[in-house]
């Protein structure tokens, strides 16, 4: 796929972090970008910066997603690219003990379900909506390509740490559904890939002490630092441009393999 002003894209979680970097990268190629996020103020600012459009969308809500896609298509036409970056994390062990009373506490099931709902079901919700539009588009090239869908998993899908049961389950689900969805859509010329980022400098790390950031950076074999969001965005752009990348789950992690904790 050639990235230019004939192509439109939707980026979920586009108001910050990996999603914002992706939106800015695609826009720099001329792509018309629509941002989905719940952060209205930041989303509108990023959209203004890149000449795109912002829509408040809750990826877990079918009506909200349907409305977002409808509005984005009115603004830019049917998307050729969907990048799923919306997601949350939670740190909670399956069971833990209260330090004072030694009482056993189980993982909060509502917290577990919320992570699955946003990271996995929300991702699939957006994929299904995008695919429904893409399959009716005219092919872009002699190979019959119509679109590309890229989702964000995590190295936690393979190297889940202590306290990451919910997060790892959600990201493992994203990884696990990449191949079957790619097979579902292959006949219609829609490619599907996922990226498994390692430790990246996103808003999640902004509140950490400098010593903690240095320790995390040192745990990455090479380069020994946190990844930059624009490096994620660069990979997304390459996946869009390289038609032979399909059904791939690509680790972007500096060779890190996460320790138990």
Residues noted as catalytic: 167
Residue 126 CB neighbours (<10 A): 24
Residues 222, 198: contact at Cβ < 8 Å?
no
The alpha carbon of 161 is separated from its chain's Cα centroid by a whole number of angstroms, namely 20
Give the torsion sign (CA, 206, 210, 212, 218).
positive
Structure token digits, residue 129: 């909506």
3-state secondary structure of 97: strand
Residues 104, 73: contact at Cβ < 8 Å?
no
Rg (CA), the chain: 18
Backbone angles phi and psi of 37, in degrees to 5: -170, 170
Residue 97 CB neighbours (<10 A): 11
Cα 98-261-231 angle, rounded to 5 deg: 130
Cα 108-122-162 angle, rounded to 5 deg: 40
Name the one residue in this structure whose structure tokens are 């950031």.
213
């Amino acid at each position: 796929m050639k990235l230019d002003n004939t192509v439109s894209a939707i980026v979920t979680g586009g108001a910050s972090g990996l999603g914002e970097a992706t939106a800015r990268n695609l826009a720099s190629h001329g792509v018309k970008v629509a941002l989905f996020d719940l952060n209205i103020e930041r989303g509108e600012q990023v959209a203004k910066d890149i000449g795109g459009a912002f829509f408040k969308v809750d990826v877990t809500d079918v009506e909200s997603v349907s409305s977002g896609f409808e509005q984005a298509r009115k603004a830019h036409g049917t998307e050729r690219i969907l990048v799923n970056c919306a997601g949350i994390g939670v740190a909670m062990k399956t069971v833990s003990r209260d330090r004072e009373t030694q009482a056993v506490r189980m993982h909060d099931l509502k917290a577990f379900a919320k992570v699955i709902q946003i990271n996995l079901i929300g991702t699939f919700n957006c994929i299904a909506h995008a695919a429904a539009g893409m399959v009716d588009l005219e092919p872009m090239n002699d190979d019959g390509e119509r679109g590309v869908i890229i989702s964000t998993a995590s190295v936690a899908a393979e190297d889940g740490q202590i306290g990451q049961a919910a997060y790892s389950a959600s990201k493992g689900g994203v990884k696990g559904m990449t191949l079957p969805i790619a097979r579902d859509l292959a006949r219609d010329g829609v490619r599907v890939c996922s990226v498994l980022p390692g430790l990246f400098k996103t808003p999640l790390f902004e509140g950490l002490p400098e010593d903690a950031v240095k320790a995390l950076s040192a745990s990455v074999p090479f380069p020994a630092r946190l990844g930059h969001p624009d490096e994620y965005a660069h990979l997304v752009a390459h996946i869009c441009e390289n038609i032979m990348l399909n059904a791939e789950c690509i680790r972007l992690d500096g060779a890190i393999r996460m320790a138990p904790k």
